[in-house]
Amino acid sequence: MPRKLLKRFIPDHESVRKHPHLRWLARFLEDPYLFHLNRRSVSGAFAAGLFWAMLPVPLQMLGAALTAILVRINLPLSVALVWVTNPITMPPAFYFNYLVGTWILGQPEGVGEFQVSLEWIGSRLDTIWGPLFLGSFVVGALAGLLGYIGIRAFWRWRVIDNYRKRRNRRQPSSINGSGPA
């Protein structure tokens, strides 16, 4: 089951609550459900984490954490998934979001030569912010939805696959002669 794989990488409830830098958040982290690994909490964490990852806002991890606390989904996983957009993947992801926004609004791209620099973004922010945020919201919502559905389907497939394997191990084999004739 995916739970075994995820447990290796996700901290447990007590270690996060007692972490010296997070002690001031202990009352928000008291809900043990924020650390459960079940189909609902993991798929919800994927939805929240992927949604926040696509938004071009500062403190994406804080947004994912607040969403996890409010909706009671897996907190460490939702925060970790925000790093899908990291300093390496952020420029192409946000440029794609901008293109989606211009397509939805029916606007021409109109940014000229694209450059990956804060100066260039600052000089073009007045023309790109609308399509960028609209495209980011739409792409984030779609990524979250696809992540949610994908994890639910993968989890269900693994549960059914494990059930079939257990059932096959329990049934006596007719090859060695111990089965019914």
Does position 124 have pLDDT exceeding 90, yes or no?
Answer: no
pTM of the model: 0.75
The more confident residue out of 109 and 107 is 107
19-28, 109-118, 155-164: which range is least confident on average?
19-28
Provide the 3-class DSSP secondary structure of residue 169.
helix
Residues in the chain: 181
What residue type is 12 in one-letter code? Answer: D
What per-residue confidence (pLDDT) applies to 175?
55
134-179 confidence digits (pLDDT tens) = 999 999 999 999 999 999 999 999 889 988 988 888 876 555 555 5
Letter string b/e over residues 144-180, b meaning 16 or more CB atoms within 10 A of that residue's CB: beebbeebbeebeebeeeeeeeeeeeeeeeeeeeeee
Identify the pLDDT of residue 1: 46
Q: Answer whether residue 15 shows pLDDT above 50.
A: yes
Half-sphere exposure of 33 (CA within 13 A, CB side): 11
**Nearest of 102, 100, 77, 82 to residue 16 by alpha carbon:** 77
pLDDT at res. 45: 94
pLDDT on residue 116 = 63
Which H helix or E strand runs over 90? helix 90-105
Give me the residue spans of the domains in the chain: 2-169
Position 61 scores a pLDDT of 92
Q: Are 56 and 97 in contact (CB under 8 A)?
A: yes
| Rounded-to-integer distance, Cα 180 and Cα 177, Å | 8
Which bin fits 113, alpha (ψ -120 to 50), beta or left (φ > 0)? Answer: beta
Tens-place pLDDT, residues 27-78:
666 677 788 788 899 999 999 999 999 999 889 999 999 999 899 999 889 9
Rank 20-24, 40-44, 85-89, 137-141 by mean pLDDT and report only the highest: 137-141
